[in-house]
Chains A and B, each alone.
Chain A
Amino acid sequence: MNALALATRGLDKSFGSLVVAKDIELKLPQGERYALIGPNGAGKTTLINLMTGMLKPDRGHIFLGEKDITALKPEERVKCGLVRTFQINTLFPHLSALEAVTLTVCERRGYARSWWRKLPAYGDAVEEAHAILVSLRLAASCYRPTRELAYGQQRLLEIALALATKPKVLLLDEPAAGVPQGESAELFSVISDLSRDIAVLFIEHDMNVVFRFAHRIIVMVGGRILVEGTPREIAADVRVRDVYLGGTRHG
């Protein structure tokens, strides 16, 4: 197994009496594609919120590589290379796709504090942003305001913004949510084509997609990790089948 890109140790979180994460021990090796699955309310998005710093854990630690990032703010974690996308489009409606990605590149390169030179003068940032949009086949509509883009294109822009931060670990929260089934395979082929330097953890409900693109699968139920394994192991696991077919043991 490769060195770990992201790991959590004993992560706990509850809202009052509702336990949303209990003793989460997650290990994501460098360059791997992991799927995070589980029924609604299992705590998948909560786990992403905890790891990216949008929620504070009650207990436990989060490591990015060797570094303990538990105390860092969300934007500091992004600077370290831990980046997420959102299940519901969380974009900049009146910025063009090019502006939005350029903004992200400028933040990473430290240009965004500069207020004296014009944006087009930062040619390296604009070029890098444009190249990312080209690689995600968004170049043709990159000058249009985000709100005018087709829904599928907006989902791609979600990923483009994340890529522009040069992530080491990418957490994708249902990247194909709301995309018709035919297009979702296309979207995931973009994800599987990503550089192997990036470790990817994605939440997804479509099992065909999960079994096709994930190297390993983590199953969450009721705020806990139920089991982790290869797609073949997960498909054969009785407990997982119980959860998805409405078994009573974990009800």
Chain B
Amino acid sequence: MTPFTLSEPQRHLEAQIRWQPVELAFWLATLLPFVFAPNYLVLASQIAITALFALSLDLILGYAGIVSLGHAAYFGFGSYTAGLIAKWGWGEPLTGLAAAAVAAGVLGYATSFIIARFRHLALIMITLGLGLLLAEAANSAGWLTGGADGLQGVRMWKLFGAFQFDLYGTTAYTYSLTILFLAFLLARRLINSPFGLALRGIRENAVRMPAIGAPSPAHIRKIYTIAAVMAGVAGGLLAQTTETVSLETLGFARSADVLVILILGGAGRLYGGLVGAIIYMVARDQFSGINPQYWYFWIGTLLIAVVLFLPNGVLGGLTRLMRLVRSAA
């Protein structure tokens, strides 16, 4: 369909989803670390991975209203999958990442049947339970996962047979950022599709959905599986770029952190998880440099401040500010 034949309502919907200049600016800015902070590329890579993880949570929490306190299950599952494949002698990054995606997707699809039946508090307890279950299973299967010592002996081959994963993180950041960008394009497409609209419908009013003939459980199973795949890819990236996997990838703290990151940045906005990840990770890096043991004190303060003063996260606050500036001008 060409834009010339769009009707007025179509043009109106089209305008809502058009690429904005600020989006292009954001993605161009992600290249800045290569030039201005070459010593921080390892951190930048970790941020990109966390942003991908937060984006995946945003798809279920921000768009479909599915609260999860166990999202690290899929992150960790992807992480161990990618790590184990490399440890067992197949260190090719892209196929390893694909394996992590498939494994997390299968786990996500299997658990989605439980998820789709519950809401609210029950959902929080179930996701929390599933997360704890998997973390403990990994802990007890020390012969496979290395237990509390973590998975050792992960050796990655060169990316495309040419780019070594180096100590400076140049390859790692390029790799993570590219995958993040591709996943973002996919998420953006998905959110702006009829399926994305149906997800927002579930978030806005789950009671009305069946009354308009919408099969919410089927939609929820689908997005939950997609989000699990994305979380698995993020986990796989972490395993490959750090060449180790620890139990922490499956832990409750990681599930809670990603929730904090998303709420900090603004849930239900595509860039919420991305902005949240940048703020959180940079803040952690800076604060923990000053006094590491009190780092969570500052995060707690930040979280309360954001929820009190910016209920829609940092991005929600920025949007409101922009609107004020525009109406004043």
Contact = CB atoms under 8 A, between A and B. Distances in A.
A114 B201 contact: no
Given A94-B200, A107-B198, A84 B193 contact: no
B9 A98 contact: yes
A160 to B, nearest CB: 11
Contact of A78 (B11, B190, B198, B212): B212
Interface in A177-232: none
B148 interface: no
Contacts of B6: 120, 123
B215 A75 contact: yes
B21 interface: no
B248 interface: no
A83 B13 contact: no
A121 interface: yes
Contact of A161 (B17, B192, B208, B216): B208
A14 interface: no
A250 interface: no
Contacts of A102: 13, 197
Contacts of A116: 189, 193
Interface residues of B, number: 37
Interface in A103-125: 103-104, 106-108, 111-123, 125
Contacts, number: 140
Given A103-B212, A161-B212, A111 B204 contact: no
B161 interface: no
Given A75-B214, A112-B195, A165-B212, A95 B9 contact: no
Interface in A56-100: 73-75, 78-79, 83-84, 86, 90-95, 98-100
Contact of A111 (B194, B207, B212, B216): B194
A164 interface: yes
Given A142-B9, A143-B12, A90 B208 contact: yes
A115 B195 contact: yes
A119 B198 contact: no
Interface residues of A, number: 50
Contacts of B7: 123, 126-127, 130
Contacts of B222: 113, 115
A123 B3 CA distance: 11
Contact of A113 (B195, B210, B212): B195
B289 interface: no
B210 to A, nearest CB: 4
Main secondary structure on B side of the interface with A: helix
A56 to B, nearest CB: 14
Given A90-B208, A106-B197, A107-B213, A115 B190 contact: yes
Given A92-B200, A95-B201, A73 B210 contact: yes
A52 interface: yes
Nearest to A158: B208
A118 B192 contact: yes
B196 interface: yes
A119 B196 CA distance: 9
Contacts of B201: 92, 95, 100, 103
B15 to A, nearest CB: 9
Interface string B112-134: 00000000000000000000000
B291 interface: no
Contacts of A75: 209-210, 213-216
Contact of A115 (B193, B200, B218): B193
B204 A94 contact: yes
Contacts of B14: 118, 120
Nearest to A90: B208
A72 to B, nearest CB: 11
Interface of B: 1, 5-7, 9-14, 17, 189-190, 192-198, 200-201, 204-205, 207-216, 218-219, 222
15 contacts: A78-B213, A92-B204, A93-B205, A99-B197, A102-B197, A106-B194, A106-B197, A113-B194, A116-B193, A118-B192, A119-B197, A123-B5, A123-B7, A143-B12, A165-B212
Interface of A: 52-54, 73-75, 78-79, 83-84, 86, 90-95, 98-100, 102-104, 106-108, 111-123, 125-127, 129-130, 142-143, 161-162, 164-165
Given A103-B201, A120-B13, 12 more contacts: A52-B211, A75-B210, A83-B212, A102-B197, A106-B194, A107-B212, A113-B218, A114-B195, A115-B222, A126-B9, A127-B10, A165-B213
Shortest 7 CB-CB contacts between residues of A and residues of B: A78-B213, A115-B195, A92-B204, A74-B210, A106-B194, A75-B210, A120-B14
